[in-house]
A = this chain, B = another copy of it.
Amino acid sequence: MAKTVTAKAHTNIALVKYWGKKDAALMIPQNGSISLTLDHFYTQTSVTFDAHLSADQVYFNHQLLPAAKAARISRFLDLVRHRSGQATFATVQTENHVPTSAGLASSASGFAALAGAASRAAGLRLDAAGLSRLARRGSGSATRSIFGGFVEWHAGHDDQSSYAEVLQDPVNWDIQMIAVVLKATQKPISSTDGMARVVATSPYYPAWVTTAETDLKRMRQAIIARDLTAVGQIAETNAMRMHALNLSADPAFNYFTADTLTAIQAVSDLRSHGINCYYTLDAGPNVKIICAGQDTNVIMTRLQQHFDADQLIVAKPGPGITITEK
C-alpha cells in the first residue's frame, strides 16, 4: 500500500498585495508581497499515490469532486508527477477549515497544503523554499502560506527566484486581524481575470509596481520595529491602491459591496475615536481589520451595530506548514 502524506497549511492575508502576473504560466508576479499567516483558517490535505487508480480522486470536505471541478488540482498533480517520476494517479482528501462561503483566500492554504502533501507522497524532498516555489504554481498567494507569521514573497524573474521566506516568525507581538465576513454576492470577475485586465488596460499599473516596491521596504521596517500604526497605514493605503487599479481598468470593475463600504466606514470612525485599527481588502467584499488584541472588544462592539456576531472572526498570527506521513 502506498503511503499517505498529510499536510496542514494556514491562509494568509497580504499586507502589501500581489496584483498582476509577469508570467502567467510560471505564476511569476509583477511585484513582491508581504503577508501575515493567520491561525484561524487552514486547509488539511492528504495525498496517496495509488497504482490501482485510473484517474485522480479528489474529495473536498468528504465529497468526491467531478473531474471538471478537480481539473486544477489534477493539473497541479501532473506537475508533481512530472518532477518526481511518480506515474500513478492519486487520492486527495482535502478539508477546508474556513467558515462556509467566507471567500477568504482558501486557494492560498489549499495549494500550500497540496504542495506539501503531494510532493512528499511522490517522493520529492523539498526544502521550505522549494515547497514555496511549487505551491506558487497552484496559486500565487499559496507561495506565502508555506510559512508562519510575517512572510515576504520575492517576485523574482523565473521559477527559481520567485519564492517566499519568513520575515518574522514567531511574531511575538500583539497584532491580529478581525475578518468581517460579508454576504457573498456574485463576484464581478475572478482575481486571475481581474489582474490580467488591470495589467493590460490600467494606465496606473506601472506606478503601482513602483509604489509596491516602496511599500515593501517600508513594511519590512515597520514589522522589524513592531510598529502597528505603520503596518496598518501602509497596508490600508496599499490595499486601496490595488482596488484603485480595478476602478481604472477598461472596463472598470470593483469588488465592493454596500457592506464593504459600511465596514470601511466603521474602521475610519473607530480610528477617529482613537482606536488604532486599519482595513485591508482582497479580491472580494470581505474586510480584514488589522489591530491589537487589546482593542478587540471595542472594535467588535462597533461592528456589531452592522454585522452579526458570526460574521466577525478574530484571527491571530498562525504557523507554517506541517507535513506528516503514515
Distance of A101 from chain B, by nearest CB (Å): 20
List residues of chain B with CB within 8 A of the CB of A170.
none
Q: How far is the CA of A245 from the CA of B203 in the complex (A)?
A: 12
Within 8 A of B (CB), among A80-109: none
A residues contacting the other copy or chain, number (CB 8 A): 27
Q: Establish whether residues A248 and B203, one from each chain, have CB atoms under 8 Å apart when the complex forms.
A: no
Contacts of A152 in B (CB 8 A): none
B244 touches A248 (CB 8 A): yes
Cross-chain pairs A/B with CB under 8 angstroms, 8 sampled: A203-B210, A203-B241, A204-B248, A240-B248, A240-B252, A244-B252, A258-B261, A261-B261
> Which residue on B lies nearest to A201, using beta carbons?
B237
A274 within 8 A of B: no
Cβ distance A214 to chain B, nearest Cβ, rounded Å: 8
| Interchain CA distance A247-B279 in the complex, whole Å | 13
Whether, in the assembled complex, A211 has its beta carbon less than 8 Å from a beta carbon of chain B, the answer is yes
Assess the A256–B245 pair: CB atoms within 8 A: no
Interface residues of A in 245-270 (CB under 8 A from B): 245-248, 250-252, 254, 256-258, 261-262
CA distance A211 to B204 in the complex (A): 9
A247 to B244, CA, bound (A): 5
Closest approach, in angstroms, between the C-beta of A10 and any C-beta of chain B? 28
Q: What's the nearest-Cβ distance from chain B to residue A287, in Å?
A: 13
User: Residue-by-residue, is A222-242 near B (CB-CB < 8 Å gives 1, otherwise 0)?
Assistant: 000000000001001100110
Please tell me if the beta carbons of A207 and B203 are within 8 angstroms of each other in the complex.
yes
Chain B residues lying within 8 Å of A248, measured Cβ to Cβ, are 204, 240-241, 244
Q: Would you list which residues of chain A between 156 and 210 have a CB under 8 Å from chain B?
A: 203-204, 206-208, 210
Known A-B contacts A204-B204, A204-B207; A261 and B257 likewise in contact (beta carbons under 8 Å) = yes
A220 at the interface (CB under 8 A from B): no
Give, as a whole number of angstroms, the nearest-CB distance from A109 to chain B: 28
**A22: Cβ under 8 A from any B Cβ:** no
Beyond A236-B252, A237-B251: 9 further Cβ-contacts under 8 Å? A203-B207, A203-B208, A203-B210, A203-B241, A240-B248, A240-B252, A241-B252, A254-B261, A256-B261
Q: Is A40 an interface residue (CB 8 A)?
A: no
- Asked if A154 lies at the interface with its beta carbon under 8 angstroms from chain B, I say no
Measured between beta carbons, the chain B residues less than 8 angstroms from A244 are 204, 244-248, 252
Q: Which residues on the B side are within 8 Å of A247 (C-beta)?
A: 240-241, 243-244, 247
Distance, CA A245 to CA B258, complexed state (A): 20
